[in-house]
Chains A and B, each alone.
Chain A
């Protein structure tokens, strides 16, 4: 079997989504944790400030994933975005409000203003964390796609038990990832509590992961996807162990591996389709059919090969610049500034 550019791009799209879920996974998690973990406004601000300088860069992985899908697989992009219309609308609304919330929350000192934006951060982190899982679950399992490549179902077709389980998994897994991140980036009492919270949530994430990925494996798995499933589950357990031992850097890296392997597992189960049809396998969109021309893919490959390492390098540098842990003592007085 020769290597086709569209197969390479299938892998690259998977990599971009993996990068997105790895990065925005913990910042969705931090957003969710502002309610259960933080005890007061200062602690909420500690959490929010752990992702302050980086959340925007993390979100661009989504824009890149979507843009690259548009360029490399126009049919995939078109069917996915028009088919999952309302869930994507909800995600958009959340991401809009959440981005504005981060920037505007501290701009006024009034209690009500700040509390409202904090509620926005919580809900608009929680909802997308759930919806992405549900959307990916539906994409892998297959949805009603007609012979014209368009989605032929309705909203209820998307709200099936498998998709809800997928949503629950991403929500819990991202929150776990966020708790581990919080323990890595904070200092003081909140750090201890974050570690304890992660220890409690980890087993739930593990159970959900095994249930959802196992179900996926049963329905549409193969040898490679099984391997990814095992890596994901093993990494999750190892992350739990490291978290208990207080090795926060390792715990974070491993919860990242768990997310990456879970995303990889889904893409491996999906291949060679990109949007399977639940109505008739002949109407499924495959990577080969949905792809752009070799010329376009070649240009994109060049751009991607040059730019992606550069982006990763300067984003890594940002994390290094802001490597210092923060605690309540570092939070300045809440003045509008």
Chain B
């Protein structure tokens, strides 16, 4: 059969497309939920309108985004059974449990409390309304934890035994699955990367609004009433975004380093492939640029930092790091077949690894610079201080502002790097999943043995085509909608709820018994809903 159209290839393409697509929405959902919750908390505690407007604004973008995250997540759960039924039979005993926990503990939280948050502005007391978005946020974090525990088990299986009678994996220790170091480090890495993603998004959009206002002022135009009122909300958002980006960026780097060390130990092939390190070397260099040739088993062009890879793997500059050829030979000896069968796509892993780090860390550095240049008033000479309703000046030192050209480019970089972490996330997943090949469960099951034997090539082709088309159309719709609402900025005409709604308990309280009838007699019974679909 033509290899390009083999069901395995098609199923892998489908998994790759649907998963990378799904993961464009996931990190934004995780981080925007928490940051919106933080802004709403600030509003509840201080009563300042700028926080209310910021909450509503980011909440809106968050909702446009989570809608896509939720529906594309459904595909993920069905896909294991549809395209990978032999995988599902083999791992279900172990892999199914975290998936079911994710649904029971995380998805119900998210979906139920998001409904309360969207429709509950005039129905719930402020504090309870704010608690709802925090529960949504908790749900997103729990969800990532469980699904990453499942994925980590595929990367590094623990807490299982192979059943002698059936030949399937059987769970023996759920605690080991949920707390193995791969899981913990991956969760740390994914969550920090997620927060970097949302923070960069927030910085980008806030920069857009502030820079637009600044340019108008520089041209001598009078700002509109609305635009003037948007500045405090955008300025607060910019700072929140920058602070979160710096902390999360640092966390991503630290956890990435930890994850690298774990992977050097658990999947030496993935890390050798990430470096295109063909032969075992001591000390091993870190490759900056290389052009490799898989068939020849070496690189034709190389640019390296001596000893650096040894340091990344073992925290010293001398120890040996195993190369691709040696690991492949070792795996072939252990599992049968030819060494080349155990070499993943070096091109994808090597460049995926570099693009992940490059895009992610660029955002981090940009945020670090941004945090410094927009720092607090007390760090600046009085002449340069700006009020919270003004666009901040970008300050190099206490008394020295950036030149107009540098200022222009700083704001532009803030806007342009907005999507960088999204690219980094995608390449990170492509790297880690492709770097595990040919294994679907490392050391236990090969991807080629995992596909559904009963599903025809036509069926996979149909679903691949349908999803690609559907996702493509929805991407256009989603991005247009996001752009429309992001450009419009906060709706500053919107007033916070005047009175804090009281919550009567279903039992007790006068008139609570016949709640429906009673409500109809209320003064504001015919008042329109503050939010409706």
Q: Among B67, B85, B102, B533, point to the contact of A100 (Cβ < 8 A).
A: B67
Let me know if B520 is at the binding interface, CB within 8 A: yes
Q: Are A296 and B171 within 8 A (Cβ)?
A: yes
Chain A interface size, under 10 / 10 to 19 / 20 to 34 / 35 or more: 35 or more
Binary contact track B84-105/A, C-beta < 8 Å → 1, others 0: 0110110111111101111111
Q: Are A49 and B96 within 8 A (Cβ)?
A: no
Cβ of A187 to closest chain B Cβ, rounded Å: 7
Chief secondary structure at chain B's binding surface: helix
Given known pairs A150-B453, A295-B171, the reply for A60 and B470 (CB within 8 Å) is: no
Stretch at the interface among A130-138, A261-269, A312-320: A312-320
Which residues of the other chain, B, contact A337 by a CB distance below 8 angstroms?
60, 491, 531
Q: Are B454 and A82 within 8 A (Cβ)?
A: yes
Stretch at the interface among A88-96, A175-183, A211-219: A88-96
Which residues of the other chain, A, contact B499 by a CB distance below 8 angstroms?
none
Let me know if B123 is at the binding interface, CB within 8 A: yes
Q: How far is the CA of A70 from the CA of B104 in the complex (A)?
A: 13
Residue of A nearest to B91 (CB): A74
Which residues of the other chain, A, contact B108 by a CB distance below 8 angstroms?
57, 60, 64, 307, 311, 314-315
Which residues of the other chain, B, contact A97 by a CB distance below 8 angstroms?
470
Binary contact track B117-137/A, C-beta < 8 Å → 1, others 0: 011100110000000000000
Which residues of the other chain, B, contact A48 by a CB distance below 8 angstroms?
533
Q: Are A332 and B462 within 8 A (Cβ)?
A: no
Let me know if A193 is at the binding interface, CB within 8 A: no
Which residues of the other chain, A, contact B532 by a CB distance below 8 angstroms?
45, 49, 52, 106, 330-332
Binary contact track A317-333/B, C-beta < 8 Å → 1, others 0: 01011111110011111
Stretch at the interface among B72-80, B189-197, B429-437: B72-80
Let me know if A246 is at the binding interface, CB within 8 A: no
Which residues of the other chain, A, contact B111 by a CB distance below 8 angstroms?
56-57, 59-60
Q: Among A49, A82, A107, A322, point to the contact of B455 (Cβ < 8 A).
A: A82
Given known pairs A53-B115, A330-B527, the reply for A70 and B81 (CB within 8 Å) is: yes
Which residues of the other chain, B, contact A88 by a CB distance below 8 angstroms?
78, 82
Cβ of B166 to closest chain A Cβ, rounded Å: 10
Cβ of B509 to closest chain A Cβ, rounded Å: 13
Which residues of the other chain, B, contact A322 by a CB distance below 8 angstroms?
119, 123
Q: Among B88, B174, B515, point to the contact of A74 (Cβ < 8 A).
A: B88
Q: Are B104 and A304 within 8 A (Cβ)?
A: yes
Residue of A nearest to B525 (CB): A324
Which residues of the other chain, A, contact B506 by a CB distance below 8 angstroms?
320
Q: Among B63, B96, B454, B485, point to the contact of A103 (Cβ < 8 A).
A: B63
Let me know if B371 is at the binding interface, CB within 8 A: no
Residue of B nearest to A185 (CB): B516
* Residues of B168-183 contacting chain A, CB below 8 A: 168, 170-172, 174
Q: Among B83, B100, B123, B528, point to the contact of A70 (Cβ < 8 A).
A: B100
Cβ of B364 to closest chain A Cβ, rounded Å: 32
Binary contact track A44-67/B, C-beta < 8 Å → 1, others 0: 010011001111110110111011
Q: Among B60, B68, B115, B527, point to the contact of A52 (Cβ < 8 A).
A: B115
Q: Are B123 and A321 within 8 A (Cβ)?
A: yes
Q: Are B516 and A77 within 8 A (Cβ)?
A: no
Let me know if A102 is at the binding interface, CB within 8 A: yes
Residue of B nearest to A145 (CB): B454
Let me know if A80 is at the binding interface, CB within 8 A: yes
Let me know if B449 is at the binding interface, CB within 8 A: no
Q: Are B71 and A100 within 8 A (Cβ)?
A: yes
Q: How far is the CA of A52 from the CA of B520 in the complex (A)?
A: 20
Q: How far is the CA of A66 from the CA of B53 in the complex (A)?
A: 39
Residue of A nearest to B97 (CB): A71
Residue of B nearest to A299 (CB): B174
Given known pairs A68-B103, A82-B85, the reply for A95 and B74 (CB within 8 Å) is: yes
Q: Are B115 and A318 within 8 A (Cβ)?
A: yes
Given known pairs A75-B89, A99-B70, A320-B506, the reply for A83 and B454 (CB within 8 Å) is: yes
Q: Are B103 and A77 within 8 A (Cβ)?
A: no
Which residues of the other chain, A, contact B466 by a CB distance below 8 angstroms?
89, 93
* Residues of A246-303 contacting chain B, CB below 8 A: 292-293, 295-296, 299-300, 303
Given known pairs A95-B74, A292-B93, the reply for A54 and B85 (CB within 8 Å) is: no
Q: How far is the CA of A104 from the CA of B477 in the complex (A)?
A: 9
Q: Among A295, A314, A320, point to the contact of B172 (Cβ < 8 A).
A: A295
Which residues of the other chain, B, contact A49 by a CB distance below 8 angstroms?
529, 532-533
Let me know if B351 is at the binding interface, CB within 8 A: no
Q: Among A55, A67, A293, A315, point to the contact of B102 (Cβ < 8 A).
A: A67
Q: Are B96 and A93 within 8 A (Cβ)?
A: no
Which residues of the other chain, A, contact B529 by a CB distance below 8 angstroms?
49, 326, 330-332
Let me know if B222 is at the binding interface, CB within 8 A: no
* Residues of A29-54 contacting chain B, CB below 8 A: 45, 48-49, 52-54
Let me know if B341 is at the binding interface, CB within 8 A: no
Q: Among A45, A73, A81, A336, point to the contact of B78 (Cβ < 8 A).
A: A81
Let me know if B474 is at the binding interface, CB within 8 A: yes
Cβ of A28 to closest chain B Cβ, rounded Å: 15
Which residues of the other chain, A, contact B163 by a CB distance below 8 angstroms?
293
Q: Are B77 and A67 within 8 A (Cβ)?
A: yes
Let me know if B417 is at the binding interface, CB within 8 A: no
Let me know if A152 is at the binding interface, CB within 8 A: yes
Which residues of the other chain, B, contact A146 by a CB distance below 8 angstroms?
454
Cβ of A134 to closest chain B Cβ, rounded Å: 17
Q: Are B112 and A315 within 8 A (Cβ)?
A: yes
Cβ of B22 to closest chain A Cβ, rounded Å: 11
Which residues of the other chain, A, contact B170 by a CB distance below 8 angstroms?
293, 295-296
Q: Are B100 and A82 within 8 A (Cβ)?
A: no
Given known pairs A56-B115, A67-B103, the reply for A85 and B463 (CB within 8 Å) is: yes
Q: How far is the CA of A307 from the CA of B506 in the complex (A)?
A: 22
Q: How far is the CA of A321 from the CA of B453 in the complex (A)?
A: 48
10 A-B pairs whose Cβ atoms sit less than 8 Å apart in the complex: A54-B112, A72-B100, A93-B466, A96-B474, A102-B533, A104-B477, A149-B89, A187-B520, A293-B171, A318-B116
Please report A residues at the B interface, Cβ cutoff 8 Å: 45, 48-49, 52-57, 59-60, 62-64, 66-68, 70-75, 77-83, 85-86, 88-89, 92-93, 95-97, 99-100, 102-108, 146, 148-152, 187, 292-293, 295-296, 299-300, 303-304, 307-308, 311, 314-315, 318, 320-326, 329-333, 336-337
CB-based closest 3 A-B pairs: A74-B92, A81-B81, A71-B96
Please report B residues at the A interface, Cβ cutoff 8 Å: 60, 63-64, 67-68, 70-75, 77-78, 80-83, 85-86, 88-89, 91-97, 99-105, 107-108, 111-116, 118-120, 123-124, 163, 168, 170-172, 174, 452-455, 459, 462-463, 466, 470, 474, 477, 481, 484-485, 491, 503, 506, 515-516, 519-520, 526-533
